[in-house]
C-alpha cells in the first residue's frame, strides 16, 4: 500500500505551483472608472502593500492612490505616495510636476519650485511644469518686492523733515497705509490718461489731502490713521485698513 501511494504523491508534487503573482487589474480598473477615492485608496493600497507586486504595477498604484488622496485633500499622504514613486523611478517629470503642485498648495514654494525645475531638466518641453515654474517664479519675485518695501511708506524716511512724515515712518501700519494711498492715486491717474481735466482734479484732490494732513497733524482731536483710511476709501471705494 505504501508503494502504491508513492506515484500518487509524486504526481501531486509534480503539479505546477500556484501563480502567486499579484493582479493589478482591480486597482487600475478602480482608478480608471471610478471617482470613489476611498475605493481607489483601499484597492490600490492592497496592491501597494503586497511584497509580490511588480515594480511597474506598484508605481501605477501609487500614482492612482496619490490622485485619490489629493481629491480628499489629504495632501501629506499624496506627497508621500509621489515620494515613493520617485524613489522607485526618479525619471518621472509628470510626478515631479504633480508633487510640485502639491507643495505649492501647502505653501512650500521653495520645494515646489525645485520640483518644477527638476521636471524641466528631465523634459524641457513639459508644458505644465514650464507654466508652473514661470508663474511661481513671478509670484516669488512679487513677494520679494513686497518684502523689500514692507513697513516703508511711499517717500524716503531718511530725508523726512515734517513731523507727520516722521510719525508715518515710525509706524509700520501708517507706512503701509501711505504706500497704499500713493499706489491707488497712481493707479487712478493712469486710468485717467487721455482725460486731462479728470487727471488735474485727481491730482488736486491728492494735494489737498496731503496739505490738510500736514496742517492738522499734532492738533487736538486729529486722528492721522482715520484720515488716511478715509483717503484710501475715497480712492478705492472700499474700506482700507
Give the DSSP letter string of the chain.
Answer: -HHHHHHHHHHHHTSPPP------HHHHHHHHH---HHHHHHHHHHHHH-TT--HHHHHHHHHHHHHHHHHTT-HHHHHHHHHHHHHH-S--HHHHHHHHHHHHHTT-HHHHHHHHHHHHHH-TT-HHHHHHHHHHHHHHHHHHHHHHHTT--SS-GGG--SHHHHHHHH-HHHHHHHHHHHHHHHHHHHHTTT-HHHHHHHHHHHHHHHHHHHHHTTSTT--HHHHHHHHHHHHHSS---
Instruction: Quote the pTM value.
Output: 0.55
- pLDDT score, position 240: 36
Q: Which CATH class is domain 23-147?
A: mainly alpha
Average pLDDT of adjacent 10-residue blocks, the chain of 241 residues: 42 45 82 84 91 92 93 94 96 95 90 91 93 85 66 88 94 90 86 88 94 95 95 71 33
- Kindly list the domain boundaries of the chain, sorted by start residue: 23-147, 157-236
- pLDDT score, position 35: 77
- pLDDT score, position 8: 45
- pLDDT score, position 213: 96
- pLDDT score, position 151: 75
Residues 37/68, Cβ–Cβ less than 8 Å: yes
- pLDDT score, position 145: 62
Q: Which residues, including other chains, have CB under 8 Å from residue 176's CB and lie 6 or more apart?
A: 150, 151, 241
Amino acid at each position: 500500500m505504501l508503494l502504491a501511494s508513492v506515484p500518487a504523491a509524486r504526481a501531486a508534487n509534480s503539479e505546477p505551483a500556484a501563480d502567486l503573482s499579484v493582479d493589478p487589474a482591480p486597482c487600475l480598473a478602480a482608478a480608471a472608472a471610478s471617482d470613489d477615492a476611498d475605493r481607489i485608496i483601499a484597492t490600490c493600497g492592497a496592491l501597494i502593500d503586497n511584497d509580490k507586486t511588480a515594480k511597474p504595477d506598484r508605481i501605477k498604484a501609487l500614482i492612482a492612490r496619490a490622485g485619490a488622496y489629493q481629491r480628499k485633500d489629504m495632501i501629506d499622504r499624496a506627497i508621500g505616495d509621489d515620494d515613493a514613486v520617485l524613489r522607485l523611478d526618479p525619471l518621472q517629470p509628470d510626478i515631479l510636476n504633480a508633487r510640485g503642485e502639491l507643495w505649492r498648495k501647502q505653501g512650500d514654494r521653495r520645494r515646489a519650485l525645485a520640483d518644477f525645475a527638476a521636471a524641466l531638466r528631465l523634459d524641457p518641453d513639459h508644458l505644465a511644469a514650464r507654466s508652473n515654474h514661470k508663474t511661481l517664479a513671478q509670484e516669488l519675485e512679487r513677494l520679494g518686492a513686497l518684502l523689500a518695501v514692507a513697513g516703508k511708506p511711499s517717500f524716503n524716511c531718511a530725508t523726512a523733515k515734517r513731523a507727520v512724515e516722521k510719525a508715518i515712518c515710525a509706524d509700520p501700519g501708517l507706512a503701509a497705509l501711505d504706500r497704499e494711498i500713493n499706489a491707488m492715486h497712481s493707479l487712478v491717474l493712469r486710468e485717467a490718461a487721455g482725460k486731462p481735466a479728470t487727471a488735474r482734479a485727481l491730482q488736486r484732490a491728492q494735494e489737498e489731502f496731503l496739505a490738510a494732513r500736514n496742517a492738522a497733524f499734532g492738533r487736538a482731536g486729529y486722528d492721522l490713521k482715520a484720515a488716511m483710511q478715509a483717503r484710501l476709501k475715497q480712492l478705492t471705494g472700499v474700506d482700507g485698513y
